[in-house]
Amino acid sequence: MPQQVAELPAEVKAQRVTPRGGKRAGGKTPRRNNPRPRNRDRSSKVAAFVIVVLLFYALFTLLIAGFIFYSFNDTAKNTEIYSLRVVYDEKTIHNIPAAEANDQYGLYIPFSYLTDIAAFGLAGEGDDISLFIIGTDNRINCTANSSLIVINDNPVRISAPVMRRESDGEYLIPVTLLETYIKGIDVRYDSEKMICYVSSDVGKTDVALTLLLPEPMEKSYFPESYKVYRPEESTAQ
């Protein structure tokens, strides 16, 4: 017996049914909820966050680089800079203001000013020179812009390099070199007036260089038993 199919009401037939193909009857495409705008908002937020992080990273890197640059170029001596007075026979013959006497490495005196207070001589030209005491074998070999000097064939590293002024080729000698290795030149600091006095008396013009060498190492001590090799002891072990 054939089955009877119930007939749909007229209201249901009148409704437009959307087929699987995506179009309704009549050829119009239905409106769908498009999630793309939300994805675009998320992408924009992520991109903005990444840009902010990169900006902070670049700023932090610049701060670190600036701190390192400042640390390498900062000099403690700049906080207390002295003017320089060159004195001979209790008379001031040269007065150098602090701005001219100080370099980033410390306090300097022109070599020509040293020749006015002691029997100094200078040999060589360019960057390699030899500073010597006239009438003696004492000499200092040095290179411009280098802190490595050789005093009487003994290499020494000082705290400030010998400089050569570009404007006139004058050699600038660190005052610390006079304090440490030259005997007969008196270096005195007046902390109240902020003046450094470099002086020499008439009777002290025969300057002698001195070099502070490290103390020699003591010889190692070995007992007598270590000096004799016994093969039977090594085989017994």
| pLDDT tens digits, one per residue of 141-188 | 999 999 999 988 888 889 899 999 988 889 999 999 999 888 888 999
Amino acid letter at 36? R
**pLDDT number for residue 201:** 72
Measured distance between the N- and C-terminal CA atoms of the chain, rounded to whole angstroms: 115
Residue after which a domain boundary falls, among 44, 74, 104: 74
- What angle (nearest 5°) sits at the alpha carbon of residue 79, between those of residues 61 and 72? 30
Report the distance separating Cα 42 and Cα 175, nearest Å.
Answer: 67
Is 236 contained in some domain?
no
Name the nearest CA neighbour of 83 among 67, 95, 75: 95
Pairing of strands 195-200, 83-88: parallel
Q: Max Cα separation, the chain?
A: 149
92 pLDDT higher than 90: yes
Strands 120-125 and 146-151: unpaired
Instruction: Report if residue 18 sits inside a domain.
Output: no
Residue 191 lies in a domain: yes
- Claim to verify: residue 65 and residue 163 sit in the same structural domain: no
Domain range for residue 118? 80-209
Instruction: List Cβ neighbours of 180 (8 Å cut-off, separation of 6 or more).
Output: 158, 212
Which of 12-16, 31-35, 52-56, 107-111 is predicted most confidently? 107-111
What whole-number distance in Å separates Cα of residue 140 and Cα of residue 129? 8
Do 63 and 96 reside in the same domain of the chain?
no
| DSSP code, position 135 | T
Q: Measure CA 67 to chain center.
A: 10
Give the pLDDT confidence of 183-237 residue by residue, as tens digits.
Answer: 888 999 999 999 999 998 766 556 666 665 544 445 555 566 655 555 565 555 5
Residue 4 domain-assigned (yes or no): no
Instruction: Assess whether 136 and 51 both reside in one domain.
Output: no
Are residues 97 and 176 both part of a single domain? Answer: yes
**Distant-in-sequence, close-in-space partners of 95: CB < 8 Å, separation ≥ 6:** 83, 84, 85, 86
pLDDT for residue 119: 86
> pLDDT-based confidence at 31, cuts 50/70/90?
low
Q: Are residues 70 and 154 in the same domain?
A: no
Residues 86 and 47 in one domain: no
**3-class DSSP state of 154:** strand
Sign of CA dihedral 171, 176, 178, 180: negative
